[in-house]
Structure 1
Amino acid sequence: MGDEAMGRFPVPDREELPEDVRERIEAETEEAGFTPNVFDAFAYKPEHFRPFFDYHDALVESTPLSRAEVEMLVVTVSGVNDCLYCVVAHGALCRIYADDPQLADQLATNHRTADLSKRHRAMLDFAEKLTEEPGRVDDADVQALREAGFSQEEVWDVASVVAVFNLSNRMATVADMRPNEEFYDLGR
C-alpha cells in the first residue's frame, strides 16, 4: 500500500502546517507511539482538521456511552461502508476498549454474528439502518433503542457517532487513506 497516509491527495509537510495542527499531531503521535494516518490525511485542509477532531473528541469524551460502545459503533458502520482505514484503526481500539480480540472482526463483517447483549444488538442494528437507509429511520427505531435501555442522550450520541463516521468513512475512501501497520496487531 505504500507509506503515505493517503493515496489520492498529497500529504502536507508538517513543518508547513499551522502550529495548533502540528501540536495536535505531535500529541497524538506521542500518545500512540506512532502517527495515525488520519491526522496526516486530514491535515490536508487544516480548517477542516480542527472541527473534525474537535467533534470526534466531543463524541468520545462527552457521552454516557462507554468508549467500547463508541468503537463498536464505528467498526460496525465502517464495515457496512467497506472503509478499510476505519475498520483497521477503530478495530484496534475496539479490541482494546472492549478487551475482546475477536469482537471487531465480527462487527466489521456482520455484527449479527457477534455474541452481543440485547442493548448492543439494538444499538448496532440501529447503526446499520441509519447508515444504509437513513430515510427509513423512524420513531420505532428510536423506541427500540429506548426499550434496550438507552437514555435520550445516549440515543442522540449513538446517532451522532454513526453520522460522523459515515462522513469519515467517505472521506477516507475518497482520499484512499491507508491504515498504519501498527493498528493491525493492537489488542490481539
Structure 2
Amino acid sequence: MDTAGFLATPEPTAEAQRLFDDDVAELGYVMNNSRLWAYQPETLSGLFELIRNANANANAGDGLSLRQRGILVTACASAFGDSYCALAWGGKLAGLSEPETAAGVLTGTDTGLTPEERAMAGWARKVARDPNGTTEADVQALRDAGFSDPQIFTMTVFVALRLAFSTVNDALGARPDQALHASTPAPVRDAVTFGRPVAS
C-alpha cells in the first residue's frame, strides 16, 4: 500500500496536485508532509495564510523578519522534538546566518545569536515545551531584551501555529525527506538527534 506517513495515500485532487506542483517547482520533489496534507490541502493553505496574516497584521515595526522566523521555528521544532521542521528551518537559518549558528539554536547553546535573538529562542522553547509553565518574569525578560508587547504576541502566535503544523506531521508519521536531509548543512544534520528518522 502506498502511504502518506501512517495513512494510505489519499485520492488525488486538483488542490493536492497544485500542492505537489508547488513543491516540485520550488524543491524539485514532492515533500512527504505534502503527501500527508493532500488529505486537506485547503486546510494547509489556510494554516499558512493564518501564519502569514499573524505577521502581516502586526503593527509597523512589530513584524518578524525571515531570520527571526527562522530562529523561532528552529528553536521550537527542536524543543518539540520535530526533526522534519528542525531540518527544514535549520537549513534555512543556516543560509541566513552560518551552519554553526543554526546548529547552536538546535542544541540550545544559541551560539552566534544576539542577546535579543537568544531571548526569542528561549521563549520559543518555553512555548513549545510547557506553555502553562511560562511566567510574567519570562515575558518581562523579553521586554528587557527590547521587544514590545505586540511583538511578544506576534512571536507567540507564530510559534503556536507552527507547532500545530508540526503536531499533525509528527502524529501521523511524516518523516523528513532524503533530499531535504542531503541538502542540509552537516552541522545542522548532526544537531538533529531527535524526532522521526529520515525516510528511507
Task: Using structure 2 for the length normalisation, give the TM-score.
Answer: 0.77
| In the alignment, structure 1 residue 93 sits paired with structure 2 residue 92 | yes
Q: Percent identity?
A: 24
Name stretches of at least 5 consecutive residues in structure 1 with no aligned partner. Answer: none
| In the alignment, structure 1 residue 102 sits paired with structure 2 residue 100 | yes
Q: How far apart are the structure 1 equivalents of 2:52 and 2:9?
A: 23
1:109-188 correspondence runs (5 A): 109-110=107-108, 112-186=109-183, 188=185
* Aligned equivalent of 2:198: none
Question: Residue by residue, what CA displacement relative to the aligned partner does 1:51-79 show, whole Å, maximum 9, x if unpaired?
Answer: 22322443566662111111111111111
Name stretches of at least 5 consecutive residues in structure 2 with no aligned partner. Answer: 186-200
* Aligned equivalent of 1:52: 47
Q: How far apart are the structure 2 equivalents of 1:59 and 1:12?
A: 30
Closer/same/farther in 2, CA of residues 61 and 178 from structure 1, 3 Å limit:
farther
Question: Residue by residue, what CA displacement relative to the aligned partner does 1:29-87 show, whole Å, maximum 9, x if unpaired?
Answer: 21223223222221223353232232244356666211111111111111111111111
Q: How far apart are the structure 2 equivalents of 1:62 and 1:31?
A: 26
Q: How far apart are the structure 1 equivalents of 2:48 and 2:32?
A: 13
Closer/same/farther in 2, CA of residues 90 and 62 from structure 1, 3 Å limit:
farther
The AA in structure 2 aligned to 1:104 is A
* Aligned equivalent of 1:37: 32
| In the alignment, structure 1 residue 26 sits paired with structure 2 residue 21 | yes
Q: How far apart are the structure 2 equivalents of 1:185 and 1:58?
A: 32
**Shift of the alpha carbon at 1:24?**
3.7
Where 1:12 maps in the other structure, the secondary structure is: coil
Superposition RMSD in Å: 2.5
Task: Using structure 1 for the length normalisation, give the TM-score.
Answer: 0.81
Question: Residue by residue, what CA displacement relative to the aligned partner does 1:136-173 show, whole Å, maximum 9, x if unpaired?
Answer: 22332222212212233321221012111222222222
The AA in structure 2 aligned to 1:178 is R
- Does structure 2 retain, via aligned residues, the 8 Å contact 1:92–1:184? no
**Shift of the alpha carbon at 1:125?**
1.2
